[in-house]
Copies of this chain bind each other. A is one copy, B any other.
Amino acid sequence: MKSKLIPFDLETGKIPESVQDSLKRHISDLAGIFADTDALNAMAAEDDRLVYEFYDMGMPETEGDLAFGTSIVYPGLVGREFFMTKGHFHTILDTAEVYYCLSGHGVMMMEDPEGHVEYQEMRPGEAVYVPGKYAHRSVNISRDQKLVTFYVFRADAGHDYGTIEQKGFRKLVVENGDSYAVVDNPRWGENT
């Protein structure tokens, strides 16, 4: 394989569209992900905003290669829940991921299959280490800034989105005055 140079923008995390398009997730792509289904349906019908986008560089899925890219979560709320990514386990469960925060203010929410929950606040320059076995999602807790992170994981690790789509995360990150709160997910375990 040849080396690569990927021209991300340091602040926005974007690659020029002439080089590569991002993968985009709008409100309507996220049914079942946010707890407040009525709020989600209303937002999907109104203007179906972009919630997040990310880049997948399509690296070969071998154990010696690394998948990497940026993730951009926009500011917003669905009901009381902040905009966030779907979140996933790795298919090879015990593989870690590193996130480096480039701009914004976020929370990395993590939980393992046994129900241990961890979360870390992220600000620009800070790295979050997501250990193996932990499902993880990026939550934008700013009211007006994008949350931009650079991520790296083993290219053969794979994504298991199904477990989270079925059960959800045990904890939600919700607005709480000017700040945020981590609260129990009242619908956790429901087959949404």
Q: Which residue numbers of A lie inside 8 Å of B, CB to CB? A: 1-11, 57, 59, 63-66, 68, 92, 94-98, 100, 102, 108, 110, 118-122, 124-132, 134, 150, 152-155
Contacts and interface: CB of A to CB of B under 8 A. Distances in A.
Q: How many copies of this chain does the complex contain?
A: 2
Contact of A7 (B68, B126, B154): B126
Contacts of A121: 5
A2 B118 contact: yes
A83 to B, nearest CB: 21
B150 A100 contact: yes
Contacts of A134: 3
B127 A5 contact: yes
A4 B128 contact: yes
25 contacts: A1-B132, A2-B131, A3-B108, A3-B128, A3-B129, A3-B130, A3-B131, A6-B126, A6-B127, A6-B128, A6-B129, A7-B126, A8-B100, A9-B125, A10-B125, A11-B125, A64-B92, A64-B96, A64-B154, A65-B132, A66-B154, A68-B98, A96-B155, A100-B150, A127-B150
